[in-house]
Amino acid sequence: MRYILLLILGLVVGAGAAIFFLGVPSAKAIPGARVQAPAGADPAGTVVVSISDSFFEQMLTTIFRDLGPPKFNLSSAARDSNPIQPAVFQGGCTNSVTLAAQDNNAKTQVQLAGGKITAPLVFSGSYNLVGNCIQFKGWAQTTIQLSFDQPSQTLYGRVVVEGVNLEGVNPMANNFVTVFVRSAIDSRVNPIQFLRPQQLQLLIPVQASNGSVKAQVKDVRSEVADGSLRLHITYEFSGAQGQAPQG
């Protein structure tokens, strides 16, 4: 019983110390408004783009195969949110987290089910805590939220960490590592430019009228069903004479 009480006390103290030194991790604000589900029938000028989960699988496979595992510096991520860092958190460790394609317990992937975009992220890394180099690994359960910024004509994604599962980490260090992993993912991954203006806007030449029709995105809605992400993109059209692209 005494050991259990000491363990609980250690966890509470560790959590308090982690928050004191590192701050409470919070999701970074993303430009634009949160993308909502379609409300009834699509308005005129709407196109529906469907993206399957196999598309994301192929994209991630290419990243790990051709570009190498993404790596994020934990110390830099922490300094961004809290520039006052005690010397005990600095040292010879790499102070970084590296994503992995998979391990024995999870796989880094994008899952489209239950009306949500979820993305388990497998990782490993090391961190210097009070002069001790802590090696850690595990996976983070995340969701991806979409937002559309109409002025910049950009569709953003935000990775929200809902939980961190660590393997083989001392309970006293668990809270520190968890906070740093959350901060690294939020600071280094977000925001994701899901679709840029060049990919969303349309410019349709009308040679017979010596002009062109420009289509800007007015609204974006999304839904997840049957292993696919469907984007309902509503355009606002305008025409201009004497601006036909030369071809």
pLDDT tens-place string over residues 138-158: 999 999 999 999 999 999 999
Least confident of 74-78, 158-162, 167-171, 217-221: 74-78
The pLDDT of residue 109 is 95
| Cα(26)–Cα(189) distance, integer angstroms | 14
Pairing of strands 211-225, 202-206: antiparallel
Cβ neighbours around 60 below 10 Å, total? 17
The pLDDT of residue 13 is 38
Q: Which long-range contacts (CB under 8 A, 24 or more apart) does 223-229 make?
A: 223/37, 223/38, 223/115, 224/112, 224/113, 224/114, 224/115, 224/116, 224/117, 225/115, 227/52, 227/53, 227/112, 227/113, 228/50, 228/51, 228/52, 228/53, 228/112, 229/50, 229/51, 229/112, 229/117
Q: Where are the alpha helices (DSSP H) in the chain?
A: 2-22, 53-62, 74-81, 171-189, 197-200
Band the pLDDT of 230: cuts 50, 70, 90: very high
- 66 three-state secondary structure: helix
Residue 246 has pLDDT above 60, yes or no: no
- Residue whose pair of structure tokens reads 């109409």 in the numeric block: 150
pLDDT tens digits for 92-128? Answer: 577 888 999 999 889 999 999 989 999 999 999 988 8
The pLDDT of residue 245 is 52
pLDDT tens digits for 161-189? Answer: 999 999 888 877 888 889 888 888 888 88
Band the pLDDT of 86: cuts 50, 70, 90: very low
Residue 224 has pLDDT above 90, yes or no: yes
**Are the C-beta atoms of residues 172 and 148 closer than 8 Å to each other?**
no
pTM for the whole structure: 0.77
pLDDT tens digits for 2-61? Answer: 433 333 333 343 333 333 344 444 556 788 999 999 999 999 999 999 999 999 999 999
For residue 235, CA distances in Å to 43, 45, 153, 211, 240 come to 9, 5, 11, 19, 16
Average pLDDT of the chain?
81
